[in-house]
Amino acid sequence: MAEYIIKNGFVFDPTQGIKGDKADIAVKDGKIVKSTEVSSKAKTIDASGKTVMAGAVEIHAHIAGPKVNEGRNYRPEDKLFTYRPKSASSRMAGGFSIPTTFKTGYEYARMGYTTAMEAAMPPLYARHVHEEIKDTPIIDEGAYPVFGNNWFVLEYLKNKEIENTCAYISWLLEASKGYAVKVVNPGGTEAWGWGLNCLTIDDPVPYFDITPREIVTGLIEANEALGLPHSVHIHQNSLGNPGNYTVTLDTLKLAEGFKAKNKFGREQVLHSTHLQFHSYGGDSWANFESKSKEVMDYVNKQKNITVDTGCVTLDETTTMTADGPFEHHLTELNHLKWANVDVELETAAGIVPYIYSPDIKVCEIQWAIGLELALMAKDPMRCFITTDHPNAGPFTRYPRIIKWLMSAEARKKQIESFKHSAKMVEATHIAGIDRELSLYEIAQMTRAGPAKSLGLSHQYGGLAPGMDADIVVYDFNPEKPHKPEDIEKAFSAAAYVMKTGVPVVINGEIVSNGNKRTLWVKAKVNENPQVMRDIRDKFLRYYSVTQANYDVSSHFVPNPHVIEVDATH
Amino acid sequence: MSKSVTDVICPFCGTLCDDLEVIVSDDGKKIEDIYNACAIGAEKFMHAQAPERVKRPRMQQPDGSYKEVSYDEAVEYTARMLFNAKKPLMYGWSSTSCEAQSVGHEIAEKVGAIVDNTATVCHGTTLIAVQDVGIPSCTLGEIKNRADRIIFWGCNPCHAHPRHQSRYSVFPRGFFTNKGHMNRKVIVVDPRVTDTAKLADYHYQVEQGRDYELLSAFRVALRNEPLPETVAGIPREKIIEGAEVMKSGRFGIIFFGMGVTQSLSKNHNIDNAIMLTKDLNEFTKFSIMAMRGHYNVTGSGQVLGWQFGYPFSVDLSRGFARYNPGETSSNDLLRRGEVDAVFVLGSDPGAHFPISSVKKIAELPSVCVDPHITPTSEISKLHVPVAFVGVEVGGNCYRMDNVPIEARKVVDPPEGVLTDVEFLTRVNARLDQLMGGK
Ligand code: SF4
Ligand SMILES: [Zn+2]
């Protein structure tokens, strides 16, 4: 394999504490090595005057699978004016808030993202998720199967059977080729099977006689008993409702007393996703306000939690979530077209288009809350930038969010352009925050932090020898004066991107489809005949497919990267 | 000694049953028996064994007779036809695997073709309605486990989806429906007294083409607004009673078919049916689902969706994907004489398209890839027989509720017969050569 040396760039690498020093990064056989380990034949990439970081890691986006594709198919309008014809090294690619799989891979790569996690995989549809992942070029991907409304989980946890829950998680991760334990609106989505919901963590789930509180704590316990690379990844109850921050704090507190147990260097036991949607005060849309401070005060002092922001980008987008009742609520608010799928024994999903207008007060406040969370974060290794793509906006807006976070001037300009800026300022903290994130902090929030939270810090998110050669060069000179727009421009189209040692982007253009991998977790547990019997029984009686036709075969995961865990005892 | 293959998927209708058992001869070449399939499903498997089956490509001669040609020649003809055409139509894709669709799309992108599937004459109107108003739906297992109100509107599963009612919708006992049929009320809306209608608790014999009015009337009744004495031939009291039945259930579902998608008002019928479903969610839980016909027409829409963003009638001829049914749909293109070559795989437009379109296909350079001799193969310049997907080769398929199921191979294809994927891959490679430098 080829050797490379990326010379003279300003390097930002939190894993080694490098904060913009000039350094060379050497690559051999797809890995980063010491500069002395490459021969004189190594190809030189001149990065002088430019910023060098590891490839970024997306911890939460909806980019592959049934609801994403329903979004594409039911929104032809999303493709308008977006298409790029094919080139020698790329397929034709289009779509804005729900791009085609090809465009998804290309756009992430162009921004310097080399790994992405699909945030909600309905296990029964896992094969579909993997078909799309297979057709998404360049980036490594994994997918989180949803567990928070799964009948096996509800029944085992009702009886406090942690060991059985572990055995089932292990079985389902392997059957669905999944990466982590995702929880969406615990209990509430099962209640949605009857048109109901669970809006606090103590609302009982109809029939199953269990509460969201018990589901979340049970799953944390099981996750740590298994020692999975990622923690439980939760989308909490009461998403999107005024006043929901108390439910958020209640849920976050469930992590108290738990300690991370794993061999991957992960320290959190709970990842709370798209926190923006869960940090709302007020009791109606009229007195809706930011509670980012209350939420981040708690997150800042609670070391066993990581979060991502879910920043609103002020675009027309397509919301989609396994939180079925929320999407029904949303369509009643905005009267835009509603799609829903309830999935037997497992979950549900809903989709509604949404326009985050800079002329609507609530949207302006949502915009502020997302940024406030990141700006109030004391430890950037525990707070990650996301848009909950495409829910708060498309991932292609990351460069713009980075601009807002790095420049108080850019935020001020945006605030002044809002229609209700005075009212918005009153309901939020954003105008009083002058913090500007550094490139180092951005590298923590988009690289080292998410990689560590996912239990992948040994291979992603940094530039230390031995790590995967996922490297990005941005045409941005941190030592020269710049305008806010220069930040957005540089992060939108990287000067150079390498994925596991293969150049994939040069001057913002795709030059190769790389050698993408699918990550999944194989967790070995003791033999558990009872759980195997329960699985057989549920397939015979309640599923509409046979057990033999449920497993995702290796044919759908042609280039797997399996993370193994031994939880036998 | 024969052996049994279990959990076999039936590659016939959108019900996509996955519990078939096929008894295969010891050498893995012959199917001896099939269990669990309905009559039409079983017939599909047996057809693979037909002695008159064509096993090599055939080229139509000027006198109308056929001459056997090699697969190499077939690949060459197909690649050149697509290469030379300005705007070829690549139609079908509903009776093949997603893997084959994917290779087909790569070819279409290269040559600037229109890709269209059988939705264009079937549930395309549904897909358009979903683009207008969305769709609240669920998986078939949800029906089995929860549903107590079942509505069949303009469809006749007894004939078109024979195991639908026993597996998912009417008879099965599920988690919250342990009395099976006893837990459920069944409503059929159909102008004809079909076998499905005969089984129903309520049959609404709507006047032909008046579905839109009846759907509206149910929506009016739900709101307790005044109704005329009869709507679409149905007395007011029956409409009010029907609305009561729907909203008094715990979980309801409307299944609909070609009776509403292709009758007067087309997509507007489905718009209204979806809005009725949405209205019902104000009272209880309700879903709606299209009874998709071909076993993998749903998959074609899915693969087109993630690769290009549209579920059917996708025009790639300008170098980027366009979608505008009425303009980019197969029959409109054929009728207007806008395509100059036709490639068909996984469908039989010769049997299902209007005669004016079929005549056009017969006039154009054309290739039909199909295991059978069909009306389409008979009018195509080249017929390429292939292995049966789901019998002689596996591949992914999507059920009518979009649940993906991987079809199995149960016997070997006849010696030397290529699969869809193999044939398409060779055409694709040949196109790369022809286009080299272009
Ligand atoms: S109902 Fe359809 S899928 Fe099932 S066996 Fe019959 S033809 Fe095959
Ligand atoms: Zn999400």
Nearest CA to ligand 1 atom 7: B41
Interface of B with A in 247-276 (CB under 8 A): 250-251
A540 and chain B: CB distance < 8 Å anywhere? no
CB-nearest partner of A132 from B145, B306, B321? B306
CB-nearest partner of B139 from A124, A339, A553? A124
Same domain, B285 and B303: no
B52 pLDDT exceeds 90? no
Q: If you average pLDDT over residues B53-60, what whole number do you get?
A: 96
Contact B404 A543 (CB under 8 A): no
- Which fold is adopted by the domain A54-453? TIM Barrel (3.20.20)
Examine residue B53 and state whether it is found in any structural domain, yes or no.
Answer: no
A312 three-class SS: coil
The torsion defined by the Cα of B166, B167, B173 and B177, in degrees rounded to 10, comes to -100
Of ligand 1's listed atoms, the one at least distance from the Cα of B13 is 2
Same domain, B95 and B66: yes
Nearest CA to ligand 1 atom 8: B41
Number of domains in chain B: 3
Examine residue B67 and state whether it is found in any structural domain, yes or no.
Answer: yes
**CB count, 10 Å around CB of A69?**
27
B377 and chain A: CB distance < 8 Å anywhere? no
The residues spanned by each domain of chain A are: 4-53+461-510, 54-453
Q: How confident is the model at residue B437 (pLDDT cuts 50, 70, 90)?
A: low
Query: Any residues with CB less than 8 A from the CB of A300 and at least 6 apart, and which?
Result: A376, A377, A378, A379
Of ligand 1's listed atoms, the one at least distance from the Cα of B162 is 1
Q: How confident is the model at residue B262 (pLDDT cuts 50, 70, 90)?
A: confident
Q: Print the SS3 string covering A399-439.
A: HHHHHHHHCHHHHHHHHHHCCCHHHHHHHCCHHHCCCCCCH
CB-nearest partner of A543 from B98, B141, B404? B141
Q: Give the integer Cα–Cα distance in Å for B94 and B294.
A: 6
Q: How far is B165 from chain A (nearest CA, A)?
A: 12
Q: Which residue of B has its CA nearest to A537?
A: B175
Q: And the tokens for A550?
A: 């449920």
| Assembly ipTM | 0.97
B212 pLDDT exceeds 60? yes
Task: Give how far Cα A85 sits from Cα of A509, B316, B321, B346, B412, Å.
Answer: 13, 10, 9, 27, 40
Each of the 569 residues of chain A gets a pLDDT tens digit; together they read 699 999 999 999 999 999 999 999 999 999 999 999 999 999 999 999 999 999 999 999 999 999 999 999 999 999 999 999 999 899 999 999 999 999 999 999 999 999 999 999 999 999 999 999 999 999 999 999 999 999 999 999 999 999 999 999 999 999 999 999 999 999 999 999 999 999 999 999 999 999 999 999 999 999 999 999 999 999 999 999 999 999 999 999 999 999 999 999 999 999 999 999 999 999 999 999 999 999 999 999 999 999 999 999 999 999 999 999 999 999 999 999 999 999 999 999 999 999 999 999 999 999 999 999 999 999 999 999 999 999 999 999 999 999 999 999 999 999 999 999 999 999 999 999 999 999 999 999 999 999 999 999 999 999 999 999 999 999 999 999 999 999 999 999 999 999 999 999 999 999 999 999 999 999 999 999 999 999 999 999 999 999 999 999 999 999 999 999 999 98
- Give, as residue ranges, everything with CB less than 5 Å from ion ligand 2: A 119, 388
Residues of B in contact with A73 (CB under 8 A): 127, 130-131, 301-302, 305, 309-311
Q: Give the integer Cα–Cα distance in Å for B402 and B388.
A: 22
Q: List helix spans (H) across B258-353.
A: 258-261, 267-280, 297-308, 330-335, 349-352
Q: How confident is the model at residue B261 (pLDDT cuts 50, 70, 90)?
A: very high
Q: Tell me, in angstroms, the distance from the centre of ligand 2 to residue A80's CA.
A: 25
Contact B406 A101 (CB under 8 A): no
pLDDT of res. B51: 83
A144 and chain B: CB distance < 8 Å anywhere? no
CB-nearest partner of B306 from A92, A101, A543? A101
Q: Which domain holds residue B30?
A: 3-47
pLDDT of res. B47: 84
Boundary residue ending a domain (B266, B290, B314): B290
What is the average pLDDT score of chain B? 96
- Which fold is adopted by the domain A4-53+461-510? Urease, subunit C; domain 1 (2.30.40)
pLDDT of res. B308: 98
Examine residue B115 and state whether it is found in any structural domain, yes or no.
Answer: yes
Examine residue B52 and state whether it is found in any structural domain, yes or no.
Answer: no
Q: Tell me, in angstroms, the distance from the centre of ligand 2 to residue A386's CA.
A: 9
Domain with residue B109: its CATH number is 3.40.50.740
Examine residue B263 and state whether it is found in any structural domain, yes or no.
Answer: yes
A546 three-class SS: coil
Examine residue B209 and state whether it is found in any structural domain, yes or no.
Answer: yes
Boundary residue ending a domain (B256, B271, B290): B290
Q: Give the integer Cα–Cα distance in Å for A514 and A507.
A: 16
Same domain, B210 and B194: yes
Same domain, B300 and B206: no
Examine residue B308 and state whether it is found in any structural domain, yes or no.
Answer: yes
The model's pLDDT over A143-187, given as tens digits with 9 standing for 90+, comes to 999 999 999 999 999 999 999 999 999 999 999 999 999 999 999
Same domain, B372 and B334: yes
Q: How far is A78 from chain B (nearest CA, A)?
A: 9
The model's pLDDT over A41-52, given as tens digits with 9 standing for 90+, comes to 999 999 999 999
pLDDT of res. B28: 86
Q: If you average pLDDT over residues B113-132, what whole number do you get?
A: 97
pLDDT of res. A356: 98
A219 three-class SS: helix
Check if the beta carbon of residue A149 is closer than 8 Å to that of residue A184: yes
Nearest residue to B48 via CA among B390, B423, B398, B399? B390
Q: Give the integer Cα–Cα distance in Å for A171 and A522.
A: 9
Q: Tell me, in angstroms, the distance from the centre of ligand 2 to residue A390's CA.
A: 8
Contact B396 A127 (CB under 8 A): yes
Q: Give the integer Cα–Cα distance in Å for B4 and B26.
A: 10
Helix (H) or strand (E) holding A537: helix A529-541
Ramachandran angles phi, psi of A408, nearest 5°: -65, -30
Domain with residue B235: its CATH number is 3.40.228.10
A486 and chain B: CB distance < 8 Å anywhere? no
Boundary residue ending a domain (B290, B320, B344): B290
pLDDT of res. A1: 62
Ligand nearest to the CA of B34: 1
Q: Which residues does a 6 A CB cutoff place in the pocket of ligand 1? A: B 10, 12-13, 15-17, 37-38, 40-41, 161-163
The model's pLDDT over B222-239, given as tens digits with 9 standing for 90+, comes to 999 999 999 999 999 999
Give the start-end residues of each E strand in B62-162.
66-68, 88-92, 114-117, 134-138, 149-153
Residue A533 is given by DSSP the state: H
Q: Give the integer Cα–Cα distance in Å for A429 and A367.
A: 11
Same domain, B310 and B272: no
At position A382, the amino acid (one-letter code) is R
Contact A337 B140 (CB under 8 A): no
pLDDT of res. A514: 95
Check if the beta carbon of residue A257 is closer than 8 Å to that of residue A293: no
Test site for ligand 1: of B9, B16, B17, most ligand atoms within 8 A of the Cβ: B17
pLDDT of res. A569: 83
Q: And the tokens for B280?
A: 């019902």
Q: Give the integer Cα–Cα distance in Å for A386 and A447.
A: 12
Interface of B with A in 147-176 (CB under 8 A): 167-168, 173-176
Same domain, B320 and B418: yes
The model's pLDDT over B345-400, given as tens digits with 9 standing for 90+, comes to 999 999 999 999 999 999 999 999 999 999 999 999 999 999 999 999 999 999 99
Task: Give how far Cα B346 sits from Cα of A355, B16, B280, Å.
Answer: 40, 16, 38
Residue A194 is given by DSSP the state: G
Same domain, B390 and B361: yes
Max Cα–Cα distance, chain A, nearest Å: 69
Q: Give the integer Cα–Cα distance in Å for A118 and A145.
A: 9
